[in-house]
């Protein structure tokens, strides 16, 4: 049985350093070999992408991917000239299994987030560094489900990066290694399968476990393994984006470890695991002059509205979303 703790209301996502683990036969999307080739699909915003295997034939002849950034554009503001790392936690989900799907509330949250990210001032203007050009996603089901409406809304492929898996905490969040079961899933059964780029090969393959037992805030020694794999994953993702911005769809502790990797001096100790952001919470980190990263927001929900929106969970009880004014007054169940 999976043991739940304070953090498990968000089941974090951290893991391991680069690894040379064997790749299951017939599953190229699991390969832990960096692939520098990137392609852009020539499709209007909001239109679904063709299957990933067709993407190389849909590349505009002579066009690079991601688009060449023109940071000196006279029409671009200084904020637009800065690339961003945006981290999104998956939507609401049940807690009975190690790899559960989103619940009804989580599906609605993912839809609202997709609409928010598709806004031009959030998505970013084409051709400048603040533009989101790549979606990197944890291989866990709930993360892929959250990424799917976003990929559709932004017309972007999904790069499944195992380095952004949830925190692999034995005897706390897991009682056994969940990775073999994830590896065994048929490619066609994966959520967002039509958006997954089969040509992308994960840079980081976690090794179970990241840590044994409950992870305390400020325990630098026991945080080190998870931190290193997140550092490797986010640096590789940024390199692949070629000077543009990226979206990472993953887990609660992904926010913690990505911030710790890019701007540790700006992280409030209270934000470290086992603290967890809300479902579909968004963290934004912006690169300033000299390559210095600045934390702009942590776990915010700008996609939320002031309109009450009660949903019913699987037990039939009403449950507020974060966009409901009374959300903070109600228990999470």
Domain assignment of residue 65, yes or no: no
Any idea which residue has 């070629």 for tokens? Answer: 242
pLDDT in tens, the chain (333 residues): 433 333 343 433 333 334 334 344 444 445 444 333 333 333 344 443 333 322 222 223 333 444 333 333 222 334 667 999 999 999 999 988 889 999 999 999 999 999 999 999 999 998 899 999 999 999 999 999 999 999 999 999 999 999 999 999 999 999 999 999 999 999 999 999 999 999 999 999 999 999 999 999 999 999 999 999 999 999 999 999 999 999 999 999 999 999 999 999 999 999 999 999 999 999 999 999 899 999 999 999 999 974 444 444 444 444 454 444 334 433 333
237: left (phi over 0), alpha (psi -120 to 50) or beta: alpha
Q: At what angle do helices 220-241 and 252-262 cross, to 10 degrees?
A: 80
Domain assignment of residue 203, yes or no: yes
pLDDT digits (tens, 9 = 90+) for 161-198: 999 999 999 999 999 999 999 999 999 999 999 999 99
Domain assignment of residue 101, yes or no: yes
Closest by Cα among 161, 183, 179 to 23: 183
Residue 40 CA to residue 165 CA, distance in Å, equals 25
**Do residues 261 and 269 make contact, with C-beta atoms less than 8 angstroms apart?**
no
Domain assignment of residue 317, yes or no: no
Residue 26 CA to residue 39 CA, distance in Å, equals 23
- Both tokens of 153, joined, read 């809304």
Residue 245 CA to residue 115 CA, distance in Å, equals 18
**Do residues 286 and 84 make contact, with C-beta atoms less than 8 angstroms apart?**
yes
Total domains in the chain come to: 1
Domain assignment of residue 34, yes or no: no
Q: Which domain holds residue 234?
A: 6-18+73-308
- Both tokens of 328, joined, read 């903070």
Any idea which residue has 């228990």 for tokens? Answer: 331
Domain assignment of residue 28, yes or no: no
Q: Identify the pLDDT of residue 81.
A: 78
Domain assignment of residue 166, yes or no: yes
pLDDT digits (tens, 9 = 90+) for 73-98: 222 334 667 999 999 999 999 988 88
Q: How far is CA 315 from the centre of its chain?
A: 28
Q: Identify the pLDDT of residue 95.
A: 87
- Both tokens of 136, joined, read 């990197």
Length of the chain equals: 333
Q: Identify the pLDDT of residue 97.
A: 87
Domain assignment of residue 324, yes or no: no
Task: For the chain, state the CA radius of gyration.
Answer: 19
Residue 251 CA to residue 143 CA, distance in Å, equals 7
Here the CATH number for the domain that contains residue 220 is: 3.40.50.1240
Would you call 135 helix, strand, or coil by DSSP?
A: strand
């Amino acid at each position: 049985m999976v043991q739940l703790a304070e953090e498990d209301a968000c089941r974090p996502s951290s893991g391991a350093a680069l690894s040379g683990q064997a790749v299951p036969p017939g599953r190229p999307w699991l390969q832990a070999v960096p692939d520098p080739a990137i392609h852009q699909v020539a499709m209007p915003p909001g239109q679904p992408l063709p299957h990933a295997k067709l993407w190389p034939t849909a590349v505009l002849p002579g066009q690079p991917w991601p688009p060449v950034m023109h940071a000196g554009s006279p029409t671009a503001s200084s904020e637009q000239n800065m690339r961003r790392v945006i981290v999104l936690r998956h939507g609401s989900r049940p807690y009975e299994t190690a790899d559960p799907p989103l619940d009804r509330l989580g599906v609605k949250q993912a839809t609202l987030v997709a609409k928010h990210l598709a806004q031009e001032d959030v998505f970013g203007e084409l051709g400048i560094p603040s533009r989101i050009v790549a979606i990197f996603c944890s291989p866990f089901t709930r993360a892929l489900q959250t990424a799917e409406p976003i990929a559709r809304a932004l017309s972007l492929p999904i790069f499944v990066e195992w380095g952004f898996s949830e925190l692999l905490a034995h005897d706390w969040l897991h009682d056994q290694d969940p990775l073999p079961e994830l590896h065994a899933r048929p490619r066609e059964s994966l959520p967002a399968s039509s958006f997954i780029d089969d040509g992308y090969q994960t840079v980081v393959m976690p090794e179970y476990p990241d840590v044994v037992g409950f992870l305390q805030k400020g325990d630098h020694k026991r945080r080190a393994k998870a931190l290193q794999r997140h550092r490797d994953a986010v640096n590789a993702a940024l390199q692949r984006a070629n000077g543009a911005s990226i979206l990472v769809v993953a887990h609660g502790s992904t926010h913690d470890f990505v911030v710790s990797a890019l701007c540790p001096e700006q992280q409030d100790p209270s934000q470290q695991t086992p603290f967890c952001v809300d479902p579909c919470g968004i963290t934004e980190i912006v690169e300033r002059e000299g390559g210095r990263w600045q934390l702009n927001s942590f776990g915010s929900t700008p996609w939320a509205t002031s309109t009450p929106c009660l949903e019913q969970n699987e037990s039939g009880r009403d449950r507020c979303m974060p966009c409901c004014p009374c959300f903070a007054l109600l228990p999470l169940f």
